[in-house]
Amino acid sequence: MVASTAYTEVWQEARKLAFTPAQVAPLVRRPYDLRHAAVSLWLNAGVSAPDVAERAGHSVDVLLRVYAKCLDGQQEIANRRIDDALAA
């Protein structure tokens, strides 16, 4: 077993090696942040909410409650899809 303090120390050192000094402060402060980034990426890439929820181990309700604020720039895509559907 690894103590959480030891894990945190290793994580912080790894961040310093992986990121520039300007990036260290805002990026991936906790290992959990990687999971959050992945789920946000999947949603913004257009993966359906049910698929993302299954991959993340969430219900769709929890997924949308937690991650809806991470969706960015989807309105234009949604408008185009609606227009395409109406034109068909």
Is a pLDDT exceeding 80 seen at residue 75?
Answer: yes
Instruction: Estimate the share of the chain in helix, then strand, then coil, as percent rounded to the nearest 5.
Output: 75, 0, 25
Average pLDDT, the chain: 87
pLDDT band (50, 70, 90) for residue 49 = very high
| Structure confidence at residue 45 (pLDDT) | 87
Per cent of the chain over pLDDT 90 is 33
